[in-house]
Amino acid sequence: MTAPDRPGPPVVAVYRSLLLAASETFIRTDALAFRRYAPLFVGEGRVAGGGLALPEADVVVGIRGGRYRHAVLQHVPGYLLGRLERACRARGVALVHGHFGTDSLRALDLAERLGVPFVVSYHGFDAALSDAAMRAGRGERYLQRRAELFDKAAAITAVSAFTASEVLRQGAPEAKLHVHHVGAPLGPPRPDPPREPVVLFVGRHVEKKGLGDLIEAMARVRASVPAARLLVVGDGPLRGEIEERARRLDLDARFAGWLEPREVARQLREARVLCVPSRRAANGDAEGLPTVIPEAGGQGLPVVGTRHAGIAEGIGNDAGGLLAHEGDVEGLAQALTTLLTDDALWRRLSDGARENVARNFDPQRQAEELEGIYDEVLGRATSR
């Protein structure tokens, strides 16, 4: 059974079990840039504390209660799916798009109930984690149904070429796989480097983000640039340990926690350099393509990163930043010191970063690319 015919653009159910974490701006950015499709944000509940702001008229959640109620009711057979199915039918959903493979089993079930095509996007850890780590992290059900997910998905997208290679390693059919970059807005040019030597980090405080390497690198940077300061945006399980290490090294570091997207954009405008020191974690966890890289590039902010996952892809290789090897603290320190002190190089990389974003991460162009995938999927479904 297919969704009913309705006037207006086709409706896409954009699925995430909890809507939407502060770090998941990429899901919102893509969906709100659609021109020929209408997004309906669908989830089992809300992120604690409210999460990212979404247009309320275009949000459907299965449970409007606290985390405890969510944890109990998600195990009641058919309860959530029934509520979500009824809401999606009422809105005439034509396609379900699940974000994160490990989170999209219910999205697949919802699509099957609705009788509409299903698309799934992989963003990083969901493709990179080892099977052993998946099992240890309550991913057994995903492993049991992964082949089914790949078989029934009409299309599979990956946020970077690296992530696509990891999804192929999991067994995804190459014919269904698309590399799709998330869009990022382009700010005005920045003719002059910021005078304040601020190094910015934005992300979760987890092993793969490599924040400990950045802390160690900053101690070396301050030996050459005593005024250098570190601003850390984000939070996570390693925050206490990282803050203690920064205090022990007597760094000029501020840990700001999560900030609103508008405030993050302001910090990207004002900082001298963004550092993305990511590395593969012991359990295999890896980045896809950190969204903050094109966001920084759009603001003309050069990046110092590692040769990890899609980071080089995100900065256009040498166009918008400098790269060190994973875990290379000395290499990070040298690259940061160079960008804090070399104004001519800063200007070249600032221009290159903006050009790379305009060419490869334009939000409208990326939304059109995703809508083209939807067109292809719905066209095949209609022709059957």
Q: Residue 64 has what pLDDT?
A: 53
Tokens encoding 194? 């910021």
Domains of the chain by residue range: 11-183+362-383, 198-360
Binned at pLDDT 50, 70 and 90, residue 69 comes out as very low
Sheet holding 118-122, edge to edge: 59-61, 38-43, 11-15, 93-99, 118-122, 155-158, 177-179
Query: What pLDDT score was predicted for residue 146?
Result: 97
Residues 182/99, Cβ–Cβ less than 8 Å: no
Whether the pLDDT of residue 26 is over 60: the answer is yes
H or E element, residue 60: strand 59-61
What pLDDT, on the 0 to 100 scale, is given for residue 42? 95
Percent of the chain with pLDDT over 90: 80
Q: Is the pLDDT of residue 1 over 70?
A: no
CB count within 10 Å of CB 42 equals: 28
Indicate the pLDDT class of residue 62, thresholds 50, 70 and 90.
Answer: confident
pLDDT at 2 over 90: no
pTM, entire model: 0.88
Residue with tokens 């944000």: 41
Q: Residue 183: pLDDT band by 50, 70, 90 thresholds?
A: very high
Written as one string, the DSSP assignment of 310-367 is THHHHTTTTTSEEEE-TT-HHHHHHHHHHHHH-HHHHHHHHHHHHHHHHHH--HHHHH
At 330-379, the pLDDT tens digits run 999 999 999 999 999 999 999 999 999 999 999 999 999 999 999 999 99
CB 207 within 8 A of CB 282: yes
CATH number of 198-360: 3.40.50.2000
Beta partners for 323? 305
230: closest CA among 244, 248, 211? 211
Mean pLDDT of 231-249: 96
Q: How far apart are the first and last CA of the chain?
A: 12
Whether 233 shows a pLDDT value over 80: the answer reads yes
Q: What is the pLDDT of residue 23?
A: 83
Write down the pLDDT at residue 3. 45
Average pLDDT (217-229) is 97
pLDDT of residue 5 exceeding 60: no
Does domain 11-183+362-383 fall under CATH 3.40.50.2000? My reply is: yes
Question: Which tens digit of pLDDT belongs to each residue from 272-288?
Answer: 999 999 999 999 999 99
Question: Tokens 């095509």 correspond to what residue?
Answer: 117
Q: Is the pLDDT of residue 76 over 60?
A: no
* Residue 71 confidence class, pLDDT cut points 50, 70, 90: very low
pLDDT score, position 65:
46
Q: Decide: helix, strand or coil at residue 162.
A: helix
Give tens-digit pLDDT for 120-170: 999 999 999 999 999 988 789 999 999 999 999 999 999 999 999 999 999
Question: What pLDDT does residue 191 have?
Answer: 78
Mean pLDDT of 32-55: 90
Rounded distance between C-alpha atoms, residue 164 and residue 170, angstroms: 10
> Which residue is listed with tokens 């399980």?
237
